[in-house]
Amino acid sequence: MLNSKIPSGPLDSKWKNYKSTCKLVNPANKRKLEVIVVGTGLAGASAAASLGELGYKVKAFCFQDSPRRAHSIAAQGGINAAKNYQNDGDSVYRLFYDTIKGGDYRAREGNVHRLAEVSGNIIDHCVAQGVPFAREYGGLLSNRSFGGTQVQRTFYAAGQTGQQLLIGAYQSLERQISLGNVEMFNRHEMLDVVIIDGKARGIICRNLVTGELERHFGHSVLLCTGGYGNVFYLSTNAMGSNVTAAWKAHKKGAYFANPCFTQIHPTCIPVSGDHQSKLTLMSESLRNDGRIWVPKNQGDNRKPNEIPEEERDYYLERRYPAFGNLVPRDVASRAAKERCDAGYGVGSSKQAVYLDYAAAIQRYGKIEAGKKGLVHADAATITALGKEVVKEKYGNLFDMYEKITGENPYEIPMRIYPAVHYTMGGLWVDYELMTSIPGLYCLGEANFSDHGANRLGASALMQGLADGYFVIPYTIGNYLSDEIRTSAIATDHPAFAEAESKVRDRIHMLMNIKGTKTVESFHKRLGKIMWDKCGMARNAEGLKQAIKEIQQLKQEFWSDVKIPGSINEMNPELDKANRVADFIELGELMCIDALNREESCGGHFREEFQTEEGEALRNDDQFMYVSAWELKNEHEWTLHREDLNYEVVKPSQRSYK
Amino acid sequence: MEHKNINLKLKVWRQKNSNDNGTFETYDAKNISTEMSFLEMFDVLNEDLIKEGKDPIAFDHDCREGICGMCSMYIDGRPHGPWTANTTCQLHMRAFNEGDTVVVEPWRAKAFPVIKDLMVDRSAFDRIIQAGGYVSVNTGNAVDGNSLPIEKDKADASFAAAMCIGCGACVAACKNSSAMLFTSAKVSHLALLPQGEPERQTRVLNMVAQMDKEGFGACTNTGACEAVCPKEISISNIARMNSEYLSASLNSEK
Ligand SMILES: Cc1cc2nc3c(=O)[nH]c(=O)nc-3n(C[C@H](O)[C@H](O)[C@H](O)COP(=O)(O)OP(=O)(O)OC[C@H]3O[C@@H](n4cnc5c(N)ncnc54)[C@H](O)[C@@H]3O)c2cc1C
Ligand code: FES
């Protein structure tokens, strides 16, 4: 039975009550308890730093050459918090409600309310660390809007919010390293969890520089290893983002929840050719000021600036007048796909829509001219002033667009198209962030909690930091308080030896295939299957076919992959092979999950289940649950359902009209 | 954007590991679309090498968006190649012409030993941060964010310094392999904010001491670092660090 351990009592006092009644570990005992933190992005770095501050003995691991480079660094737009600094009606309840609704009623009320409650503490802590958030002239913190909400609650640092937050967490982590509370292992990849007497007690990892396998003990293990969007090959994730750590835990018994819930982000730079290695996001914050449109005529090949206003279809504003360009991501992405599929797409591939800043430049230009008292400013002056404002707000994004496409977005509307961005699914965790394996926790994007079937913009940073700074420091104590009598287990314990030898065998097996096809070629093929059949729109027939194709791909991979180099050296192709092998297995489970969920909700759009207007059609009677999958055998999983109980919010069909 | 395919010659530094001497190897990169990024061109080359049974070229990269600071190639005598305010991953093949020969090396600095081919060990940067690049505040201590107003100009200046991605291009460009731009960016980020005030003096002293200990060279103000910095971190940060250092040293002698 799945026990989500949601505390009883009214929604807004669950977390308070939990905190005041959970078990504690005294300082002397903390020093004897060892915690392993795998991954040092926002979730992992904040957890490792906070646990180090509390006095636990922490070992932290990442595969990059420094914790400062985790994928969190790339987050652009911002982080939400219910501060109501703008006096526009925000509150903890409203942030909670928006997140539940945005997630299309597939997230737990208890978790999401806690997230909203601690959101303000995150901002306070980051300010105290010296995170240079954007400020107003009066010296106070500035906010912007994000999709799926009608208040301004997003804190930001230009287009580099993730960078600044991660640097804040990284600096706290480095401080704990210098104090000797945290030991850091860079360029290390976790390849298995070690389980002793049913509890997670350590990990096996590969030193990526020497190729050696290492054993590390911990009284508990935290996986903070990020999302698995790269199962689609092309995504906005960093090249190294992978599912391996979570997948190894899954193979050791941890349930994997809602794997098919993938977020496709509406505003990314379109694919330019077969060589494409990744896709680049243009932050959602651009939808604040930019207007999205396609020509009203199919196959219109004129340059965008030659298409007159009345021949443009601002389809989001037309379909969703209440939210306009700021509808949630899943809605915006599907609307773009719908237009392109119907033949209105733009650019050479016709798989793109315009994101246009001309109106914003004019609007800001006039405001600036007014501020400067230029009553009779000419058009050129207004345009120049407007461009200045846009540059200050979004300059780095515009520069990035120009570097990649060679086009100047201040002059020509940007071409954008949806791309895989975030994975709401992940390891199943209870309220305490513990997986179904005792002592094994999962934080950040790697877990499934909080975002339901669709994540709202600026909420991933919030969740990662909530998990690391404000949740795990309490919940881990509740577990470790019972472990104070467990002394450190020596790593020559048979469970460590067995786990290591399995990892070694698998590496040897991979190296000995000596086939003809590169790892990359398999990854690309997997990505194509996933994008075509388990992407923005899915149907039963396609999913069944995808499962077959993935099973074949797996066979072919394990008999024909070609990995150069050797084992006992730095070998990035071997590392990649390990990851792609796991992605292939995950891909199958994603399709199984998508097939099982006979409804449309959030990012999961089953073509068979839609309203007359083409909106997602949920089936609350049958699918108001979290799917938690347990691996039984190769290609064989058991489904465990965690029913979702809405005590406060009344689920309804999401409307952004 | 107009695009075409071009052919290039690449002279790439190959070094098996830190004990190996290393040497240049020449490769043909054929039919490269000018829409590719520089690293995508390396992907294509590596795929060919693997198919030929050869060892692919190892290089660091992750975000491919110019923000993680992982990529680090010294291209035709310049860190991150010919474009200004740019990282290797954001350099696109539009920057090159048919028939060009392109020379690619790792960062070269005593404090950044080569690990393999184009990858170097930059952990010295982490140790400089460990020496004091933080505000000592534990989780849970903070007061309300808006109880501490900060002048917009100061916050913006602090942010401009905090944009450093820690790639090490500054060190690679400097004839003395100095890490002054990197270190001063962190010192400035925190010195410009009231939160950084209590530890302002110990921070600069300890970070500079660590920088020297790691074997980075002295700064002779040539400005090469600023010229190649992908985030355009200003050399004025170095001047600020020098004055912070001076006043901290004077105070600590009291
Ligand atoms: C381009 C982009 C922009 C975004 N913008 C925003 C935004 O504006 N607002 C917002 O809220 N969210 C945004 N997001 C989402 C958000 O950035 C991520 O969801 C979040 O940062 C994930 O943090 P994390 O700590 O869970 O994982 P990550 O930051 O991905 O960190 C994973 C860590 O795990 C390590 N790791 C992984 N596997 C292993 C292994 N096997 N062994 C050892 N270490 C391992 C890695 O080294 C790394 O340290 C954005 C995402 C992208 C792609
Ligand atoms: S790969 Fe991240 S900055 Fe280049």
Last residue of a domain, one of A420, A436, A459: A420
Task: Count CB atoms within 10 A of the CB of residue A91.
Answer: 14
Q: Residue B1 — very low, low, confident or very high, per pLDDT cuts 50/70/90?
A: low
**Per the domain annotation, does A612 fall within a domain?**
yes
In this prediction, residue B219 carries a pLDDT of: 97
- If contacts are CB pairs under 8 Å, which of residues 171-200 in chain A contact chain B? 171-172, 174-175, 177-178, 184, 186
CB contact at 8 A, A52 and A179 = yes
Mean pLDDT over B17-46 rounds to: 96
Q: Ligand 2 centroid to B212 CA: how many Å?
A: 27
Which range of residues forms the domain containing residue A565? Answer: 497-619
The string over B97-119, giving b where at least 16 C-beta atoms fall within 10 Å of a residue's C-beta and e elsewhere, is eeeeebebbbbebebbebbbbbb
Fold of the domain spanning B5-115: Ubiquitin-like (UB roll) (3.10.20)
Average pLDDT score, chain B: 97
| Interval between CA B248 and ligand 2 midpoint (Å) | 35
Domain boundary among A393, A420, A447: A420
CA B229 to chain centre: 7
Q: Are residues A272 and A399 in the same domain?
A: yes
Asked whether residue A646 is domain-assigned, the answer is no
Is residue A329 part of the annotated active site? The answer reads yes
Interface membership of A346 toward B (CB under 8 Å): no
Distance, in Å, from the CA atom of A452 to the CA atom of A654, rounded to the nearest integer, reads 13
Q: In what order do the strands lie in the sheet with A625-633?
A: A426-427, A256-257, A625-633, A636-643
Residue A371: exposure state from Cβ atoms within 10 A (0-12, 13-18, ≥19): exposed
pTM for the whole structure: 0.97
Average pLDDT, chain A: 96
Residue A654 has what pLDDT?
82
Q: CB distance from A123 to chain B under 8 Å?
A: yes
Domain boundary among A391, A420, A449: A420
Are A300 and A392 contained in the same domain?
yes
For the record, the structure tokens of B70 come out as: 């992982």
- Give the residue ranges of DSSP H helices in A415-567: 460-465, 472-480, 494-513, 519-534, 540-560
If residue B28 lies in a helix (H) or strand (E), which one and from where to where? Answer: strand B23-33
Whether ligand 1 lies within 6 angstroms of the CB of A581 is answered as no
Q: Is residue A544 part of a domain?
A: yes
Domain at A411, CATH number: 3.90.700.10
> Looking at the complex, does the CB of residue A303 fall below 8 Å from at least one CB of chain B?
no
Q: What is the pLDDT of residue A61?
A: 98
Residue A579 lies in a domain: yes
DSSP track, A282-350:
--TTHHHH-EEEEESSTT--S-GGGS-GGGEE-HHHHH-TTTGGGS-HHHHHHHHHHHHHTT---TTTS
CA neighbor of B15 nearest in space, from B3, B25, B26, B5: B25
Mean pLDDT confidence for B36-51: 97
- Same domain as A515, residue A386: no
List chain A residues with pLDDT less than 70. none
Query: Given this model, what pLDDT does residue A395 score?
Result: 87
What are the start-end ranges of the H helices in A103-196? 109-129, 161-178
**Could you report the per-residue pLDDT of A294-305, keeping only the tens digit for each?**
999 999 999 999
How far from chain centre, in Å, is Cα A58? 25
Rounded Cα distance between A353 and A333, Å, is: 11
Residue A355: inside a domain, yes or no?
yes
Place of tokens 């024909």: A560
Q: Which CATH number fits domain B122-252: 3.60.70.12, 2.30.30.30, 1.10.1060.10, 2.40.160.40?
A: 1.10.1060.10
How many residues are there in chain B?
A: 254
Residue A42 within any structural domain of the chain = no
Q: In this structure, are A413 and A559 located in the same domain?
A: no
Q: Is A640 on the interface with B (CB under 8 A)?
A: no
Q: Classify residue B253 as exposed, middle or buried by CB count within 10 Å of its CB (0-12, 13-18, 19+).
A: exposed
Q: Is the pLDDT of residue B2 over 80?
A: no
Count of the separate structural domains present in chain A: 2
Tell me what pLDDT residue B177 has. 98
| A203 domain residue, yes or no | no
Same-domain pairing of A407 and A514:
no
Distance of CA B87 to the CA centre of its chain: 9
**Residue ranges of the domains in chain B?**
5-115, 122-252
Domain assignment of residue A440, yes or no: no
pLDDT of B252 over the 90 cut: no
Residue B177, min C-alpha distance to chain A (Å): 20
Per-residue pLDDT, A353: 97
CA atoms of A599 and B154, how far apart (whole Å) = 52
Quick: pLDDT tens for A332-343. 999 999 999 999
Tell me the ipTM for this assembly.
0.98
**Does residue A144 sit in helix, strand or coil?**
strand
Burial of A651 (0-12, 13-18, 19+ CB in 10 A): middle
Which residues of chain A are within 8 Å of residue B70 when distances are taken between CB atoms?
64-65, 69
Which token pair is B194?
Answer: 């009231």
Q: Is A528 in the same domain as A394?
A: no
Q: Given the residues A106, A287, A329, A579, select the one marked as catalytic.
A: A329
Q: Are residues A281 and A410 in the same domain?
A: yes
